Structure 1
Amino acid sequence: MANHYYHQSNVIAVSTPSTSLNSLSPLLLRGNHSFFRNKKIALERSLVFERKSTGSLRKNRGGEYAVVVASSGNVAASDLWDSWKPQKNSSAPSLSDILWPSAGAFAAMAILGKMDQILAPKGISMTIAPLGAVCAVLFASPSSPAARKYNMFMAQIGCAAIGVAAFTLFGPGWVARSAALAASIAFMIYTRSTHPPAASLPILFIDGVNLHQLSFWYALFPGAAGCIILALIQEVVCYLKDNLKF
């Protein structure tokens, strides 16, 4: 019977014959772990163990037990490098999984571009950069938390309003941008509405002279209004992905 004693980041594996049970009891019972309720149980002489991280193997003079110490440092280093690799156990996307989100993004920008032609006399554009990021979230990862409708609209409206307030208080410049971004992140965490594209709305307003005329209407237009159009296109994209596969 192989027994392991876990202590913080180290693992100690012990193998011993039954004759040395009493001598090893203090080691194996450390931390109120009762590994042996019946002292008559015979232990196997060999212990088979594997661990991804490297460790050290030592024996006492009598050769009665082996100790393996595996540090978690190697595991942490492995986790660090794993973040630079594609997600494990993820199958390659099909052609339809690539085509339909891309087609949805094309349609979204085409519709918003057509609206720009209508709004051109007022000097307002619907094709703002944050909506491009919203397209990536809604079409490429519709099941992610950031694609939830609550997250999207709550963050879009709240962060846009924060940008207007920061510009009103501090005017243009790095102070307004820094304060607006910090407040936007705090707002999304507090309201549990994390939606990364919305964090760019305050900076867009502060630096966009043509948007200043909107004042607090900016909280609804163009960000939230554009998201309504993108949400409708997302429904079409998801339907096509589920029903027309190739």
Structure 2
Amino acid sequence: MLRQSNSDTGSTRKRASWINFFYKFKGDNSKLPPKHSARAIIFAWLGGFLAISAIALLCNTFSVALVLGSFGASCVLVFGFPDVPFSQPRNVLAGHFLSSFIGLVCLRLFGATWWSVAIAVGTAISVMMLTRTTHPPAGSNPVIIYLTKPVWTFLLFPTLFGAIILILVALLYNNFTHESRYPKYW
């Protein structure tokens, strides 16, 4: 009888742990972040517009690929939240470059499989964290690489040169429109 009681206690604990696990989905009931000012919203819009315009214009002018889908998400960070670590130039440039490099290496080594793209994304996240260059939009670069299957020049065009243009626009624009300095660090 004692054994059954221990067994029942163990299964009860397992059920309780599963209930607690799903209970976490409820969240912490924290308040939403404060609303952004109209000025901040307009300036973020204009910054994103100018950066993607510059990249797309140069792309058309020189007939070279400079636009990368993840650059739109980079604009959200760089112009909407320029003070956070994810938005700093070293994170934008190195994050995009490392993630694209890892995506290309994994594609060449393992081929275009479901598990190799997963390895590429996981590795990109880990390497960005290890090098302190985490830039969340860059985490999509390996996926983009697996969808488009580009050649090695993808590291230069659009990845490196597109990120440099984005950073140059951010340096000019953020320092012109904000009182605080951009970047916080290199």
Q: Which bin holds the TM-score, normalised by the shorter protein?
A: 0.7 to 0.9
Whether 2:80 is the aligned partner of 1:80: answer no
Shift of 1:119: 4.8
C-alpha distance in structure 1 between counterparts of 2:50 and 2:114, whole Å: 35
Secondary structure of the 1:221 match is: helix
Mapped pair 1:219 → 2:155: yes
Tell me if structure 1 keeps the 8 A contact 2:87–2:135: yes
Report runs of 4+ in structure 1 exceeding 4 Å deviation.
none
Q: Secondary structure at the match of 2:32?
A: coil
Per the alignment, residue 178 of structure 2 pairs with 242
Give the gaps of 5 or more residues in structure 1: 1-72
Gap regions ≥5 residues in structure 2: 1-19, 180-186
Aligned counterpart for 1:128 among listed residues 68, 76, 81:
68
Cα distance between partner residues in 1 of 2:134 and 2:37 = 29
TM-score (norm 2): 0.74
1:110 to 31, 36, 53: 53
Select which of 155, 167, 170 maps to 1:231.
167
2:96 match = 156
| Worse-superposed segment, 135-144 or 222-231 | 222-231
State whether structure 2 residue 41 is matched by structure 1 residue 98.
Answer: yes
RMSD over aligned CA atoms reads 2.3
State whether residues 126 and 222 of structure 1, in contact with CA within 8 Å, keep that contact through their aligned partners in structure 2: yes
AA partner of residue 82 (structure 1): N
The CA distance in 1 between the partners of 2:174 and 2:98, in whole Å, is 27
Tell me the TM-score normalised to structure 1 length.
Answer: 0.57
The structure showing larger relative contact order (alpha-carbon pairs under 8 Å, at least 6 residues apart) is: 2
Give the letter aligned to residue 80 of structure 1: G
Aligned to 1:3: none
- Alpha-carbon contact 1:158-1:219 (below 8 Å) kept: no
Computing the radius of gyration from Cα coordinates, the structure with the larger value is 1
Q: Counting strand residues as a fraction of each chain, which structure ranks higher?
A: 1
The DSSP-based 3-state class of the residue aligned with 1:222 is helix
Q: Distance in 2 between matches of 1:200 and 1:242?
A: 29
User: What displacement does 1:235 show?
Assistant: 2.4
Alignment of 1:1-246 (within 5 A): 80-83=27-30, 85-87=31-33, 90=34, 92-120=35-63, 125-209=65-149, 211-212=150-151, 215=152, 217-242=153-178
